[in-house]
Amino acid sequence: MKRLFPILAALFLSACAAYSGSGLKPGESSLDDVIGVMHEPAMRWQDPDGSEQLAYPRGPYGFHTYMVLIGSDGKLQRIENVLDAKGFAQVRPGMTEAQVLRVLGPSYPAWTDYFKARDELVWEWRYCDEWNEAARFDVLFDGTTGIVRSTMSLTESQKSLCGPDGCLCSH
């Protein structure tokens, strides 16, 4: 048992580093280093200047999506969790699906819903809110145009009070 504990601890710590890329160093780590630690991204974008953006969603049970920005020199610029108030504030009515993906990364596919009566497509991300409570952030798109209509956020405890026809809370 004494030999097993250090092995398990090492595995746990290496998994944590891969999760957020915490061991990577801006200005020093390369794209290959990032992929070696965090693995292949779910999405990636190449900019005209040669820089790249990589998306690492850690759902459905995780609370983060990490955006990794690689400069035109091939070096890591920064890693940031985008599932927070700052990231959500960037999503505005009129944005396209592609623009939302670039800001928040992909939502978990099983949490995507289409509501025919409203011609509305809803993408959802899980995150940890300012009060350290599990919450969901939804982006509501026009189903025909793919343009953002609005956004909303509910804690998971609030969401459990909602049924298929909307919130059933009494006021």
How crowded is residue 100: how many other Cβ atoms within 10 Å of its Cβ? 22
Quick one: pLDDT at residue 96? 98
Query: What are the structural domain ranges in the chain?
Result: 22-81, 85-167
Quick one: pLDDT at residue 5? 44
Residue 104 DSSP code: H
Do 22-81 and 85-167 fold alike per CATH?
yes
Q: Which CATH architecture has domain 22-81?
A: 2-Layer Sandwich (3.30)
pLDDT tens column, 10-23: 333 334 446 899 99
Of 71, 57, 82, the C-alpha closest to 28 is: 71
Of 128, 141, 154, the C-alpha closest to 58 is: 128
pLDDT tens column, 22-64: 999 999 999 999 999 999 999 999 999 999 999 999 988 899 9
Q: What is the pTM of this model?
A: 0.83
Class for domain 85-167, per CATH?
A: alpha beta
Quick one: pLDDT at residue 11? 37
